[in-house]
Chain A
Amino acid sequence: MILPFALQEVTYLEIIRKLSLEIIPGPATIVLGANGAGKSVLLRLMHGLLRPTSGAVRWSGDNPARKQAMVFQKPVMLRRSALDNVRYALELAGSRDPSAEALAALKEVGLAALALRPARVLSGGEQQRLALARAWALHPEVLFLDEPTASLDPSATREIEAVIRAFDSAGTKIVMATHNLGQARRLGDEVLYLHQGRVLERGPVEAFFTRPATPEAAAFIKGELPWV
């Protein structure tokens, strides 16, 4: 187990300021906050794509980088088939039977029929599901998601949410940034509310939405809800 992991006084430029927190296994964690609050940067610091200016990210187990995956707002597809995109990740991870495992992952997200299509001609929703299949194949202990449905229509969003739920059911810890407050309530167990690089509030989802403790969070919920 690489969980729990902790941020110790992590600072990144002017964006994240002396942030300390612990992430435990179990509840799906939703990172909320306005544009520019530092959500994406926070996820990248956790995942190790950015190095903190000061402070540190501490994981519990050995080789944590291998046991986590990340899905980005804009899916990044290699110019090869859907199957080969998943297989590539498995080969890097040292899988013994990458082809079979890749196909199984595609089945999980409902893309088996499109396995041999070039990944980059798939629709936006399909590409994001493929990105999730690539993460699924790795059986990560932690999955970071950075606004995975931000540019998708409602039906594609529903499909993505179903896959994220499957990760959650399979025991993967979800850490997701989103702008969609409805989605935060549907998928989340706890909320991290980020404001100007600091965690202003942290608590169960329902409590956050019904009884926000800070005026900033209250204003954020009020301002965001009309667009859900």
Chain B
Amino acid sequence: MHSILEAIRAAVGLIASGDATLGEIVLLSLGVSLSAVALATLLGLPLGAAIAVGRFPGRRAIIVLLNALMGLPPVVVGLVVYLLLSRAGPLGDLGLLFTPGAMVIAQTILILPIIAALSRQSVDDAWREYEEQLRSLGSEGAGAALTVLAGLGRASAEVGAVMIVGGNIDGVTRVMTTTIALETSKGDLPLALGLGIVLIAIILALNAAAYLVKEAAQRRYG
């Protein structure tokens, strides 16, 4: 009991004094996950909207696949990215292995299905409501998909919230929890605990931000 209190005190001290190692780890985690979320959003939103509005053979299979990929095991993704980026791998020449760049790639692969599947669902729902009116006005295909996407308002805020929370926390926790496990096994309990406290604070802040964004969108767009 005594040693736990000791460690907590030391951890708080680390945070309060702005310890450099701690700050570096936190910044790296946030940087990696923010980049991955941005990248996955750029790809996932239009992809989800296209699948929702488009009518093509194999559409249902793709939807099932997308939903299944939301549960992609991180270890498998890590392994695949490792094989791709390793010296002998097809992308080995890029020299990305063991760099933040590789982490961003792996995170993006993990988050992309979440964003694509959720935006597909949201656009699908909205499309049901809008389809006749948009077709009556002469809007079809990609233009219609963009209109629905742009007009989503609350739904896009919800997708955004999930992106921020799901994507970021995934990213942050993966980097920080690895470090926490490592530091614990090395016996540096204050650093591990300090990271844990920061991690919980980040999760709280992200959830609060997501909630506020959603509320504001609800007021603004009805």
A: residues with CB less than 8 A from B are 44, 47, 49, 65-66, 69-70, 72, 76, 78-80, 88-89, 92-93, 118-121, 134
Chain A residue with minimal CB distance to B156?
A79
Q: Which of B15-74 contact A (CB under 8 A)?
A: none
Give the complex CA separation of A121 and B147 in angstroms: 19
B129 close to chain A: CB less than 8 A: yes
Q: 15 more A-B contacts (CB under 8 A) besides A79-B152, A92-B138, A92-B139? A: A49-B136, A65-B138, A69-B137, A72-B133, A76-B129, A76-B130, A79-B151, A79-B154, A80-B151, A118-B220, A118-B221, A118-B222, A119-B222, A120-B221, A120-B222
| A121/B222 in contact, CB under 8 A | yes
Min CB–CB distance A42 → chain B (angstroms): 15
Partner of A79 from B132, B133, B137, B153 at Cβ < 8 Å: B153
Give the complex CA separation of A78 and B153 in angstroms: 9
Give the complex CA separation of A78 and B156 in angstroms: 13
Complex A-B: 25 CB contacts under 8 Å: A47-B136, A49-B132, A49-B136, A69-B136, A69-B137, A70-B136, A72-B133, A76-B130, A76-B132, A76-B133, A78-B147, A78-B151, A79-B151, A79-B153, A79-B154, A79-B221, A80-B151, A80-B221, A92-B137, A92-B138, A92-B139, A93-B138, A118-B220, A120-B221, A120-B222
Min CB–CB distance A164 → chain B (angstroms): 17
Task: Count residues on chain B whose CB falls below 8 Å from chain A CBs.
Answer: 17
Min CB–CB distance B49 → chain A (angstroms): 15
B87 close to chain A: CB less than 8 A: no
Instruction: Give the most central of A72, A89, A134: most B CB within 10 Å.
Output: A89
Give the complex CA separation of A92 and B137 in angstroms: 7
Min CB–CB distance B127 → chain A (angstroms): 11
Q: Which of B76-132 contact A (CB under 8 A)?
A: 129-130, 132
Contacts of A65 in B (CB 8 A): 138
B: residues with CB less than 8 A from A are 129-130, 132-133, 135-139, 147, 151-154, 220-222
Secondary structure dominating the interface of B: helix
Contacts of A49 in B (CB 8 A): 132, 135-136
Contacts of B147 in A (CB 8 A): 78, 88
Contacts of B153 in A (CB 8 A): 79
Min CB–CB distance A207 → chain B (angstroms): 32
Give the complex CA separation of A47 and B138 in angstroms: 11
Give the complex CA separation of A79 and B132 in angstroms: 16
Min CB–CB distance B137 → chain A (angstroms): 5
| B222/A89 in contact, CB under 8 A | no
Known contacts A72-B132, A79-B221, A89 near B151 by CB under 8 Å? no
Chain B residue with minimal CB distance to A47?
B136
Min CB–CB distance B56 → chain A (angstroms): 18
Min CB–CB distance B180 → chain A (angstroms): 42
Give the complex CA separation of A134 and B132 in angstroms: 14
Give the complex CA separation of A92 and B147 in angstroms: 11
Instruction: Give the most central of B137, B153, B221: most A CB within 10 Å.
Output: B137
Chain B residue with minimal CB distance to A121?
B222
Contacts of A119 in B (CB 8 A): 222
Min CB–CB distance A128 → chain B (angstroms): 13
Chain A residue with minimal CB distance to B154?
A79
Min CB–CB distance B130 → chain A (angstroms): 6
